[in-house]
């Protein structure tokens, strides 16, 4: 059995309470015999399924995210060891944030960094990992639908730069480099297979095409 299978079995048999880790949808930390995990149920089954799918989409592209598994409406991720990004990123941090920018803009991850820069963990090796994508795709972080704000045009290529000083200096050439770093249109289109909701997959296809036009 994988560590995730063992963890789900342990949770079903022992029902530990875990510890509240903050956030708007009640993430809980579990220190289990087979490892340390974060469990989330989101605001609704649709919300947490979407977060799991968006995490998988980024993982398919190679963007650093925690390994995740989902059963019975519970998403478990391996707890990332490290420090929160915080408000004083290093030059290396900023380089990675800018390299990872286009995938996050494409999935409409409005909370890419988090209000307190707590959605990004700096691993012991210095790599940044994006530990909360609950505000990506058709849902806001607290689970409310974005409605028409999640559409075929990737306005986040501009708004994420406007909202986050770490990204504010990015040029159009920088956007192109981020796009190329993760394989461009072909790689993102292939990664769509992990998205289970047909409407989300359709809109994401349109968004990928919009980004491709922007960087052409």
> What domains appear along the chain, each with residue ranges and CATH number?
3-78 (3.30.200), 83-215 (no CATH)
DSSP 3-state percent helix, strand, coil across the chain (nearest 5): 45, 15, 40
Mean residue pLDDT of the chain comes to: 96
Instruction: Kindly indicate the confidence band of residue 30, based on its pLDDT and cuts at 50, 70 and 90.
Output: very high
pLDDT at 118 over 90: yes
Q: How many CA atoms lie within 13 A of 119 on its CB side?
A: 19
CA distance 75 to 166: 29
pTM as predicted: 0.96
CA distance 58 to 142: 20
Q: 130: which DSSP letter?
A: E
CA distance 177 to 130: 20
Instruction: Kindly indicate the confidence band of residue 22, based on its pLDDT and cuts at 50, 70 and 90.
Output: confident
Cβ count near 61 (within 10 Å)? 20
Confidence (pLDDT) at 72: 93
Cβ count near 11 (within 10 Å)? 19
Instruction: Kindly indicate the confidence band of residue 23, based on its pLDDT and cuts at 50, 70 and 90.
Output: confident
* 150, 138 Cβ separation under 8 angstroms: yes
* 36, 30 Cβ separation under 8 angstroms: yes
CA distance 10 to 128: 30
């Amino acid at each position: 059995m994988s560590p995730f299978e063992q963890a789900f079995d342990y949770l079903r048999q022992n029902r530990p309470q875990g510890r509240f880790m903050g956030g708007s949808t009640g993430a809980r930390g579990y220190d289990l015999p087979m490892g340390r995990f974060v469990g989330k149920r989101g605001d609704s089954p649709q919300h947490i399924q979407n977060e799991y799918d968006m995490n998988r989409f980024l993982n398919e592209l190679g963007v650093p995210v925690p390994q995740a598994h989902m059963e019975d409406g519970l998403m478990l991720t391996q707890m990332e060891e490290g420090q929160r990004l915080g408000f004083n990123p290093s030059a290396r941090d900023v380089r990675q944030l800018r390299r990872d920018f286009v995938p996050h803009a494409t999935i409409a991850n409005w909370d890419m960094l988090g209000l307190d820069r707590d959605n990004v963990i700096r691993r012991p090796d210095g790599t940044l990992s994006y530990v909360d994508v609950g505000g990506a795709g058709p849902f806001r972080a607290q689970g409310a639908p974005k409605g028409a704000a999640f559409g075929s045009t990737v306005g986040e290529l501009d708004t994420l730069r406007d909202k986050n000083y770490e990204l504010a200096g990015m040029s159009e050439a920088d956007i192109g480099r981020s796009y190329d770093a993760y394989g461009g249109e072909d790689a993102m289109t292939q990664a769509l297979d992990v998205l289970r909701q047909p409407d989300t997959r359709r809109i994401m296809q349109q968004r990928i095409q919009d980004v491709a036009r922007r960087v052409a």
